[in-house]
Amino acid sequence: MKFLDQAPRFLFFTGKGGVGKTSIACATAIQLADAGRQVLLVSTDPASNVGQVFGTAIGNRITAIAAVSNLAALEIDPQAAAQAYRDRIVGPVRGMLPETVVAGIEEQLSGACTTEIAAFDEFTALLTDSALTSDYDHIVFDTAPTGHTIRLLQLPGAWSGFLETGKGDASCLGPLAGLEKQRAQYKAAVEALADTQRTRLMLVARAQQATLREVAHTHKELASIGLSQQYLIVNGILPDSEAENDPLAAAIHEREQAALNAVPAVLQQLPCDYVPLKPFNLVGLPALRQLLSATPAQAQASIDPAVELDEPGLPELIDGIAKNGHGLVMLMGKGGVGKTTLAAAIAVELARRGLLVHLTTSDPAAHLSETLNGTIGSLNVSRIDPHTETERYRQHILETKGAKLDAQGRALLEEDLRSPCTEEIAVFQAFSQVIREAGKKFVVMDTAPTGHTLLLLDATGAYHREINRQMGSSGLHYTTPLMRLQDPELTKVLIVTLAETTPVLEAANLQADLNRAGIKPWAWIINNSIAATSVTSPLLRQRAMNELREINAVANQHARRYAVVPLLRHEPVGVERLLALTGENSRHSES
């Protein structure tokens, strides 16, 4: 593997949930340790399963892996780190400030930004404290800090006073209020990340066009802040041999090769490794030692019976959605799970039934027009441009709140408005215009705001709260956008995931986030399931068996209702194929 050639001291693996970065990080650590190097494996993934992979309890302490000489591991718990971080910031003001103010600070520190920064706070010593890590030749990190986190840590130093005086807006800067005393250590950590002699960053992807586009965005974001030593790892590629006698396997192989032939230009310049798909779960040392091996793994599923899956499909969910004749349907989930396709399929099927439908997206890579590739009566399609909406929102804030600030305050406000939360809030405001239509027609929304953004809007902003304050005693009827989202009669949130461990855990975290915002997801959709198909490929049959545990977890632990959508032989592009995806014969389909 190219990424292991002359490996530097720090190796970071980053990528979306479900692409296999934990497995590759673990396999890398084992390979380096087997070569006689002293290795520390560190996970900062909220859904970390490193302990499960090695079959031993690890936790937030350096633990020797007994079965692998020279290897130790550490699992940083981002949620625990975030809670300790919140306590450190909120503790001194509790009892001194009104409870409503304290609650607002806690809410501002409740989202993903705080978790990311708190996790960085935990492992920054591993990058800068030589005494702490002097025993190790390599430190392998499962989950690198995002470009967003690093940019925040590079911001000017006067955050605390800026936020305390109320000059900031609802954004990601709240979590930075407690960092002043550690700026030197953070600066050293960021320098270590940018040092190509010490650090190498691996971008882990799957052979899917949408995933590769997201990785290209990550590459540019990290390169722009100095993290230029990057390698691309494309994981889970179906071997040629599996495509010989199985039509579905052949179609998957063809799609993957097409994606690899169309790799974004910015990624083509990177050193690249390809890791073939394995038939087994990547748990335990024998499996991990095979992951990066050049020797093909033999599937053991040929002697097993085919999976007979009898689970609810998309048609049943659409029947429930259509009953009211109108409403807001929001599809949420991590990148690469198929939200755009499913949003288009649901919208097309509702329109086929003669219902008025507005399908809208804010995803720059959604390409809804390509997915639809046609028109159908009573369906209207729109796209909200995040860049345009964000610039409009920034200008509004600068012209109102910024007009009263001095030069330093205005500069800090401009930094505040560069955060990703600013974009989500701006896009949500644009979505709010569309949401009003849901009282008379169906509005199907692809790429909805996260639960964290909704909480910021409600708890720090002020639109929902200000309306409450102004209207609460007037006796007049009013409805805010958040209230519409919290109304189960009007809004149905569909969480989209895959039948794999990490995507299901991430979807469960998203559901908890939404619940805190008072929004109860209506259903889950498990997309691209092999278990819901008929396959003869031994490797795919084994993968189908592996999916059953995750489907069972969704059905029995997470979802009030759910649907399983099969992995299809052909991409569901065009109205006809989208209708086939949602029709009564859609399950077990190979169309």
Spell out the residues 6+ positions from residue 139 whose beta carbon is closer than 8 angstroms to its own: 9, 10, 11, 39, 40, 42, 126, 133
Q: At what angle do helices 314-322 and 575-582 cross, to 10 degrees?
A: 90
Q: Which helix (H) or strand (E) holds 524?
A: strand 523-529
Let me know if 22 is a catalytic residue: yes
The token duo for 575 is: 């109205």
14, 17, 21, 147: the active-site residue: 21
- Which amino acid, residue 450? T
14, 15, 16, 23: the active-site residue: 23
14, 45, 124, 361: the active-site residue: 45
The token duo for 6 is: 């002359």
Let me know if 115 is a catalytic residue: no
Of the candidates 135, 149, 132, 270, which has an alpha carbon nearest to the alpha carbon of residue 200? 270
Spell out the residues 6+ positions from residue 95 whose beta carbon is closer than 8 angstroms to its own: none
15, 17, 20, 333: the active-site residue: 20
Assess contact for 246 and 215: CB atoms under 8 A. no
Let me know if 59 is a catalytic residue: no
502, 537, 586, 589: the active-site residue: 502
What number of other Cβ atoms are within 10 A of residue 362's Cβ? 22
The DSSP code sequence of 475-506 is ------HHHHHH-TTTEEEEEEEESSHHHHHH
Torsion of CA 23, 29, 32, 35, to 10 degrees: -90
Let me know if 340 is a catalytic residue: no
17, 18, 147, 583: the active-site residue: 18
Q: Which helix (H) or strand (E) holds 122?
A: helix 112-128
Strand 491-498 versus strand 327-332 pairing type = parallel
Q: What three-state secondary structure class fits 405?
A: coil
Let me know if 487 is a catalytic residue: no
14, 15, 16, 22: the active-site residue: 22
The DSSP code sequence of 411-468 is HHHHHHTTSHHHHHHHHHHHHHHHHGGGGTSEEEEESPPPHHHHHHIIIII-HHHHHH
- Which amino acid, residue 100? T
Let me know if 21 is a catalytic residue: yes
Let me know if 56 is a catalytic residue: no
Active site residues: 18, 20-23, 45, 502
